[in-house]
Structure 1
Amino acid sequence: MRIVIALGGNALLRRGDPMTTEVQRRNIKIAAEAIAPLAAGHSIVVVHGNGPQVGLLSLQAEAYAGAEPYPLDVLDAGTQGMIGYLIQEELRSLLPPEHQVATLLTMITVDPADPAFAHPTKFVGPVYEKDAADKLAAGKDWTFRQDGSAWRRVVPSPEPRQILEIQPITWLLERGAVVICAGGGGIPTVNPSSAPGALRGVEAVIDKDLASELLAEDVHADLLVMATDVDGVYLEWGTPRQRRLDRVTPGELAGYQFAAGSMGPKVEAAARFVAKTGGRAAIGSLADIAGIIAGTAGTNVVTHRAHTGAVPGSLAPQ
């Protein structure tokens, strides 16, 4: 099978973790140990988040008098290289020497008229107390929203339209490489109407799960996996009535509501992929990756909910 695996932020930095290279390397090693065994029998694409890292790099300019934070598109590019290198290093240490692993800087176009630019919603960077957030908002013209009991910066999150590097990504996959790409949702890019064919980056962050869905479509993936820190999608989460969805169709998911800042984009991406391609999407814990691939763990989104047998695109017999 061809599998796109989108690693949630917990695969890199858990909430409250110090943002050090060693902490990220330790967490990425866990992810790599789950992914590496799959590469022997499957074509693998890895996508990762970058929210905390973008926030960290944007604040490091404070250490230099007169310096300004780099724009988000440049920070996206920097974190793609930084995180991609760490994932690539860990995977190479686990795979046979001849098995190639490649990280590819990935630009993704967005519509400059996307309404998301007028309504920033995507959390990036560390958490702040209210007073500190207010000070940064006034000094840098940033927008903040409450995230739990703390405050975080929010930026526009436009829809991904076109993956500009899809040809080299496909070329690498066809030659057996594990490809790490579209990190952090890709580098958001627009075509200015005043200069057809030209490209420029924009101050935005594309949702990683929606970018992963578009990528899965474009590489003709059989399975889209969104690995997170819970074992599936739950209804009535946090209540005594909570229950996990095991197998569900896009139509059934449309009847439920999920938090926009956490599970919502994953559910939307899974439903979109299955509805458009007829493939399978799954949401679950990285620790259950083998079961997710087999169709026996996580929440599996399928075109038709079977009562018996394995889900489409699994390793189990039909």
Structure 2
Amino acid sequence: MAKRVVIAVGGNAILQPHQAPTFEAQLRNVQVTAAQIAKVEAMDYEIVLTHGNGPQVGNVLQQNDIAKDVVPPFPLDACNSETQGSIGYMLEQSLKNALNRQKSSANVVTFLTQVKVDPAFKKPTKPVGVFYSEEEAKKLQVDKGWDMVEDAGRGWRRVVPSPSPLRIHGVDAIVHLLEQNMMVVAGGGGGIPVYQNSQGEIEGLEAVIDKDRTGCKLAQQVDADVFMILTDVSNVCVNYGTPDQKAFKSISVDEAQQYLDEGQFAAGSMCPKVESAIAFAKSGKTAIICALDEADLALRGKAGTQISVYN
């Protein structure tokens, strides 16, 4: 019987920092990503793929701002849905081509995903969009009223509210698709944040949900065997970037939580990845954090960092 894995890839797997944000550049990156995901499918896994959209939704917001005097800007939740569609299109096409090359009978479908969140959120914490210099960031704070933070030493970015996901809408449909030999792209950009109003109706919220936290919630709700987070480093490390840096091949939930409490992992970068991996692994299953090009090796235990209660 096929095992089930939820794989989360970052927005940087679609657009690299300081890379021109053209459609062609993003499609080329997605094609590389798709080739790696196809290797996992060849190992007889049912796959739900979720992805980030930080650079992309930031660019949509920038487009809206530039054109606001001509075309009324859309709210942030609608911008999230736009990026789910555009990135989903690139992923679905690239994945199907990659699967065809390896003679797989699996198909691919993109699932527009709404995610219930707690509407009582306030502090902006989620980086979106392009990187700015400190001087540019300060000017944007004054000119546009944006909240700006330094993002893991890579430059300054805009931050927006980022509520925690409470429930993924449409999970029964996702599971049905998996059972029909479909690879499902879902929860893109963390999903479209929604809540239930006083009349019991669903409404959108202007926020961006962290894709790793949504990936964890998705993995729990579809009863995945493995939750895998693909990033641009090979392992979870402590004392990162220092002579005392230590990489882990495996780590227990308790040990990972201890390092998390010590502040070993950068906010907006490795921190939500480790938090999400811990949350999933607490159930007795395995979470993996690894480099994009080592996904298949990591599932064989030959790369990445395995997080579980048993280590």
With normalisation by structure 1, the TM-score equals 0.90
- SS of equivalent to 2:229: strand
Letter in 2 for 1:289: A
Task: Tell me, in whole angstroms, the C-alpha distance in 1 between the residues paired with 2:70 and 2:237.
Answer: 48
Q: Aligned pair 1:157/2:159, yes or no?
A: no
Counting only pairs closer than 5 Å after superposition, residues 13-162 of structure 1 correspond to structure 2 as 13-40=15-42, 41-61=44-64, 62-63=66-67, 65-96=69-100, 98-113=105-120, 117-147=121-151, 148=153, 150-162=155-167
**TM-superposed deviation, 1:32:** 0.7
Which residue of the partner structure matches residue 312 of structure 1?
none
Task: Tell me, in whole angstroms, the C-alpha distance in 2 between the residues paired with 1:156 and 1:64.
Answer: 22
1:9-66 Cα offsets, whole Å, 9 max, x none, are 2211111111011111111111111111322411011011101110111111213534
Between the two proteins, the alignment pairs up a number of residues equal to 299
Bigger drift between 286-295 and 141-150 goes to 141-150
**TM-superposed deviation, 1:151:** 2.2
Letter in 2 for 1:201: G
Comparing both structures, which one devotes a greater share of its residues to strand? 2
**TM-superposed deviation, 1:137:** 3.3
Q: Aligned pair 1:12/2:19, yes or no?
A: no
Partner of residue 282 from structure 1, selected from 277, 288, 311: 288
Task: Tell me, in whole angstroms, the C-alpha distance in 1 between the residues paired with 2:25 and 2:4.
Answer: 30
Which residue of the partner structure matches residue 315 of structure 1?
none
Task: Tell me, in whole angstroms, the C-alpha distance in 2 between the residues paired with 1:191 and 1:230.
Answer: 38
Which sections of structure 1, spanning at least 5 residues, go unmatched?
306-318
Which residue of the partner structure matches residue 214 of structure 2?
211
Contact persistence 1:48–1:183 (CA under 8 A): yes
- SS of equivalent to 1:301: strand
Which residue of the partner structure matches residue 301 of structure 1?
307
Bigger drift between 296-305 and 174-183 goes to 296-305
Partner of residue 229 from structure 1, selected from 232, 238, 244: 232
Q: Aligned pair 1:262/2:269, yes or no?
A: yes
- SS of equivalent to 2:124: coil
Contact persistence 2:131–2:154 (CA under 8 A): no
- SS of equivalent to 2:279: helix
Contact persistence 2:57–2:128 (CA under 8 A): yes
Which residue of the partner structure matches residue 180 of structure 1?
185
**TM-superposed deviation, 1:139:** 4.5
- SS of equivalent to 2:15: coil
**TM-superposed deviation, 1:174:** 1.1
Letter in 2 for 1:298: G
Counting only pairs closer than 5 Å after superposition, residues 182-201 of structure 1 correspond to structure 2 as 182-192=187-197, 194-195=198-199, 197-201=200-204
Task: Tell me, in whole angstroms, the C-alpha distance in 1 between the residues paired with 2:212 and 2:105.
Answer: 30
- SS of equivalent to 1:19: coil
Contact persistence 2:294–2:303 (CA under 8 A): yes
Task: Tell me, in whole angstroms, the C-alpha distance in 2 between the residues paired with 1:64 and 1:198.
Answer: 29
1:139-164 Cα offsets, whole Å, 9 max, x none, are 44321122336321101111100101
**TM-superposed deviation, 1:138:** 4.0
**TM-superposed deviation, 1:129:** 3.4
Q: Aligned pair 1:220/2:227, yes or no?
A: no
1:212-267 Cα offsets, whole Å, 9 max, x none, are 00000011111111000000100100111101011111111111031111100000
Contact persistence 1:59–1:69 (CA under 8 A): no
Which sections of structure 2, spanning at least 5 residues, go unmatched?
none
**TM-superposed deviation, 1:165:** 1.4
Identity of aligned residues (%): 43
Letter in 2 for 1:199: I
Which residue of the partner structure matches residue 169 of structure 1?
174
